[in-house]
């Protein structure tokens, strides 16, 4: 009697099949990536015998092939490199049936690996009864990712039109509305509301009480179809609210790798880049643009249509009625420019020449005594080479609905930091 390598219980842990459709009872030989032998005890009680020639029961040939395919799939699933894959039956070639398989037979299932590539494997299969070949053929499998069921708490509600990715976690009393898409491994804690027309990417963590995709708090919004689109790896803390856009087909856009702390509100039609930090109880009004790596301190109020440039830092309790250029420190009620965020520039990898060019632009725009028009004309004549300085000039010269914050503190220090 051959030694059992994998018992029925062990096979069920590896494979997604269950009896009566699991057609392999045990594995008696397994050579990694080379060869496997499975055994199927064909009983007279098999359910298929009731309808497949009742007066002359014969195991259907397609089930013999399926038993061989399952045996081959076990060989691949047992391999650590392919343990997260499913060996999906893709094609058959040169299949021959030699003899019938009858009740009481012991079916020996041999699969020999012919070729393995990145996403498929080719095997030669032979089924035998008492050393006589009953079936043989060449099998092609594709190696697909294993599907996984989202972890949905029993008290949660998920609309039947919502699409949830692999390993999504939906916590207690969370509600996911219609036409919502949530990417792989995103975690939603308890009592969260995700409303319709919201798409959330991968690996996000959304905390208790947040409301995302709610209708725009805007008198112009009349129920038209609009969206909230959120990227990957964002941390959205407790009670954050993000509204969908005003206007048919318009978008409230959130990038990736952002952190929004407790009670942050992001209104309709906002665009927020990547690696942005918005601190507690800050209100971002509609149509605001916040560029990459900006930091907005707690309890700040940002007026609609404002722009906050890349790498800017806004201090706590600031009232921001106008744009803040990239790389600036800004604070106050009303807002005042306090110099450059030089520490942030260095941390982001800006070179010394780039920082020097930005300092030159800052001095021209805020310390030269020129008015806005004169300063803009002077900027057009500056010879700069760094991408950071070019971005700053483009921001300063671009059209702005709110205008640029021009007031600067009398005693600003370019390397000073401000409270968040």
How many residues in total does the chain contain?
420
Could you give the C-alpha distances from 399 to 72, 266, 404, 408, in angstroms and in order? 64, 23, 10, 21
Domain 151-397 has CATH 3.40.50.300: no
Is residue 180 within 8 A of residue 194, CB to CB? The reply is yes
- Please enumerate in sequence order all residues whose Cβ is within 8 A of that of 330, keeping only pairs 6 or more positions apart, or say none: 312, 313, 314, 315, 318, 320, 324, 336, 337, 338, 405, 418
Cα dist from 245 to 164, 270, 346, 394, whole Å: 23, 8, 35, 26
Taking domain 8-145, whether its CATH number is 3.30.70.1350 is answered by: no
Instruction: Single out the residue of 181, 99, 183 nearest to residue 133, CA to CA.
Output: 99
Q: For residue 67, what is the DSSP state?
A: H
Q: Report the C-alpha gap between 233 and 224 in whole angstroms.
A: 29
User: The tokens of 106 are what?
Assistant: 């012991």
> Distance (Å, rounded) from C-alpha 388 to C-alpha 291?
13
pLDDT tens digits, 97-115: 999 999 999 999 999 999 9
Residue by residue, pLDDT tens for the chain (420 residues) are 678 899 989 998 888 778 888 999 999 999 988 999 999 999 988 888 888 887 889 999 999 999 999 999 999 888 877 777 777 888 999 999 999 999 999 999 999 999 998 788 999 999 999 999 999 999 999 987 766 678 999 999 999 999 999 889 999 999 999 999 999 999 999 999 999 999 999 999 999 999 999 999 999 999 999 999 999 999 999 999 999 999 999 999 999 999 999 999 999 999 999 999 999 999 999 999 999 999 999 999 999 999 999 999 999 999 999 999 999 999 999 899 999 999 999 999 999 999 999 999 999 999 888 888 898 888 888 889 999 999 999 999 999 999 999 988 765 544 445 455
Alpha-carbon distance 228 to 179, whole Å? Answer: 12
pTM: 0.70
Domain positions in the chain are 8-145, 151-397
Q: Residue 39's beta-bridge partner residues? A: 26, 108
């Amino acid at each position: 009697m051959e030694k059992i390598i994998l018992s029925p219980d062990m096979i069920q842990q590896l494979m997604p099949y269950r009896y009566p459709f699991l057609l392999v009872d045990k594995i008696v030989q397994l050579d990694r990536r080379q060869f496997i032998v499975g055994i199927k005890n064909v009983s007279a009680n098999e359910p298929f015998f009731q309808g497949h020639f009742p007066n002359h029961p014969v195991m259907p040939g397609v089930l013999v092939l399926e038993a061989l395919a399952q045996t081959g799939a076990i060989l691949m699933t047992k391999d650590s490199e392919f343990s997260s894959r499913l060996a999906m039956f893709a094609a058959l070639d040169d299949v021959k049936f030699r003899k019938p398989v009858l009740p009481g037979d012991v079916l020996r299932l041999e699969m020999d690996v012919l070729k393995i590539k990145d996403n498929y494997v080719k095997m030669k299969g032979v089924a035998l009864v008492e050393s006589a070949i009953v079936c043989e053929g060449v099998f092609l499998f594709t190696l697909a990712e294993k599907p996984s069921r989202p972890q949905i708490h029993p008290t949660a509600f998920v609309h039947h039109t919502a699409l949830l990715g692999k390993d999504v976690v939906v916590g207690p009393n969370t509600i996911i509305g219609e036409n919502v898409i949530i990417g792989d491994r995103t975690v939603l804690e308890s009592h969260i509301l995700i409303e319709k027309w919201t798409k959330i990417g991968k690996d996000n963590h959304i905390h208790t009480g947040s409301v995302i995709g709610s209708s725009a708090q805007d008198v112009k919004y009349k129920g038209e179809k609009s969206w909230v689109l959120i990227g990957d790896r964002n941390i959205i803390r407790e009670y954050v609210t993000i509204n969908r856009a005003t206007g048919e087909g318009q978008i409230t856009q959130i990038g990736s790798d952002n952190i929004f702390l407790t009670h942050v509100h992001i209104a309709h039609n906002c665009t927020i880049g990547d690696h942005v930090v918005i601190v507690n109880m800050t209100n971002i009004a509609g149509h605001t643009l916040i560029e990459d790596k900006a930091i907005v301190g707690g309890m700040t109020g940002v007026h609609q249509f404002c722009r906050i440039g890349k790498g800017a830092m806004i201090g706590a309790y600031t009232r921001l009625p106008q744009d803040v250029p990239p790389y600036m420190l800004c604070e106050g009620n009303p807002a005042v420019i306090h110099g450059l965020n030089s520490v942030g520039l260095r941390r982001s990898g800006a070179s010394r020449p780039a920082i020097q060019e930005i300092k030159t632009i800052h001095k021209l725009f805020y310390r030269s005594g020129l008015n806005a028009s004169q300063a803009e004309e002077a900027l057009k004549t500056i010879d700069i080479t760094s991408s950071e300085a070019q971005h700053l000039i483009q921001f300063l010269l671009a059209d702005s609905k709110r205008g640029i914050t021009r007031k600067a503190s009398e005693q600003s220090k370019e390397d000073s930091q401000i409270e968040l």
